[in-house]
Amino acid sequence: MKLSNKGRYAVMALADLAKFNTNKPISLRDISLRQGISLLYLEQIFLKLKKNKIVVSARGMNGGYNLNKDASEIKISEVLNAVDEKVKTIGCTKDSKKGCNGKSVKCITHNLWDELELHINDFFNKKNLGDLIKGRNENTI
């Protein structure tokens, strides 16, 4: 059970964006250099963030990205969903026909995974980008 780089990078990049936030757009090149994330990979990630209205883009020279709303209003869950980093714990309902269907007939562990999923999503729903900025100190990069 692990978190993917894509999800991690998305949050890192947005935190960077929130930290250096000005009225001017910030280029992916800058974020790439500061956070050590491949530029090409960042491009892919930011397309999704843009589609999900988490960032707004400015094209051309001096272009880049800005947050679409205040950092404190961007939940981590929102970010992870945007880059398709969903929390999935249950696989038992996939081959529906026989066995656990999650409704009338449940496997003995079904509720456990359900609870776990809620537990994790709850965590991501309670944290926002603003929290990350607030919590940092002088050793934070």
Binding site for DNA (CB under 7 A): 2, 4-6, 9, 25-29, 38, 40-41, 43-44, 46-47, 50, 57-65, 91
Contacts of 42 (CB under 8 A, 6+ apart): 9, 13, 28, 31, 32
| Residue 39 engages a second copy in binding (rule: CB under 8 A) | no
For residue 119, the partner it binds in DNA, a second copy, none, with Cβ less than 5 to 8 A by kind, is a second copy
Contact pattern for a second copy over residues 96 through 135, marking x by CB under 8 A: --xxx---xxxxxx-xxx-xx--xx--x---x---xxx-x
Which residues inside 59-88 make contact with a second copy, applying CB under 8 A? 76, 80, 85-88
- For residue 130, the minimal CB distance to DNA (Å) is 22
Which residues, in sequence order, are bridge partners of residue 50?
A: none
Residue at 88: amino acid letter = K
Burial class of 7 by CB neighbour count within 10 A (0 to 12, 13 to 18, 19+): buried
For residue 140, the partner it binds in a second copy, DNA, none, with Cβ less than 5 to 8 A by kind, is a second copy
Q: How distant, in Å, are the alpha carbons of 50, 88, 103, 104, 121 from that of 94?
A: 31, 12, 13, 15, 21
The 3-state DSSP class for residue 122 equals helix
- For residue 50, the minimal CB distance to DNA (Å) is 5
- For DNA, the closer of residues 8 and 75 by Cβ is 8
Contact pattern for a second copy over residues 2 through 21, marking x by CB under 8 A: xxxx-xx--xx--xx--x--
**How far is Cα 86 from Cα 105, in angstroms, rounded to an integer?**
25
Place of tokens 């900025």: 133
